[in-house]
Structure 1
């Protein structure tokens, strides 16, 4: 079996993480390259959260492990995983447990300016959450910039198309190359 690999795509709200996260599989699909995608927003979503796991970390990991088992059974060994904080220290352990020891981990932090991110958020947040989202996005941008793993590639999104951003992300993985090794 091929070595399992995961591309972690992190970044603040409004950076284009989810949009780029869906463009990467589109480009892989066009190239005929097998892969799977997990958007963390769809994992661990339970309310109320378990009393001993208020951030639903354990259920998110259990969900990822279950989904990954299904993907592996289909013959997949590449995963695109989008989550705001996936590039922070400590994330590797979850992927080792969920996907197996020795999983190859690539990390990309999407970045956007303090002008771009709020503009994007104002286009998508139509309810009462805009101010909270903008403030949280700014906090997360600082946290991610200061604490991302040292091997994290930073990919600017300001003034760029999602196609260009996804191409940069795929360049980081080497998945389009023969053999697909990073």
Structure 2
């Protein structure tokens, strides 16, 4: 992150499923706390967790952006100088929408690691079944999408 504590900024950590976005965001939050910098850490997956998702928005991005805008506003009002967000961002246009939702300049950071490592994490994280299978398939698909972006 650039700038001193007086600079209000966002950081959006993206990458394929299972790469470590949420863990990295938490660690950054811990470091900001040690530095005494007021901040918030937000996991986008939780903001989109509503069912059923509209057919035209299967990942609930609109709900996610609405919730993010509300939360970021509340955190800024409470004094947050940094907002660290973790989640999947599949395009530059989507990145601009997330930046608009947090209403502050945002740096985008993509985490990348070997897909074999990602798939091992996903296998440990999810019980065998359709959800795990989906995540395993999605990890490679999403990694390719992010490479193109």
TM score, norm. by length of structure 1:
0.70
Give the counterpart of 2:49 among 29, 45, 48: 45
Aligned to 2:120: 119
Count of matched residue positions in the alignment of Structure 1 and Structure 2: 143
- Structure 2 residues not aligned, in runs of 5+: 1-5
Aligned to 2:76: 72
What is the DSSP-based 3-state SS (H/G/I as helix, E as strand, rest coil) of the residue aligned with 2:92? Answer: coil
- Cα RMSD (Å): 2.0
CA distance in 2, matches of 1:79, 1:8: 8
Give the counterpart of 1:33 among 27, 37, 44: 37
- Structure 1 residues not aligned, in runs of 5+: 148-182
Are 1:143 and 2:148 an aligned pair? Answer: no
Report the CA distance shift for 1:123/1:44 in structure 2 as closer, same or farther (over 3 A). Answer: closer
Runs of 4+ aligned structure 1 residues displaced above 6 Å come to: none
CA distance in 2, matches of 1:96, 1:107: 9
Contact 1:38 1:81 in 2 (8 A): yes
- Alpha-carbon shift at residue 40 of structure 1 (Å): 0.3
Report the CA distance shift for 1:126/1:52 in structure 2 as closer, same or farther (over 3 A). Answer: closer
TM score, norm. by length of structure 2:
0.84
Contact 1:3 1:104 in 2 (8 A): no
- Alpha-carbon shift at residue 98 of structure 1 (Å): 2.1
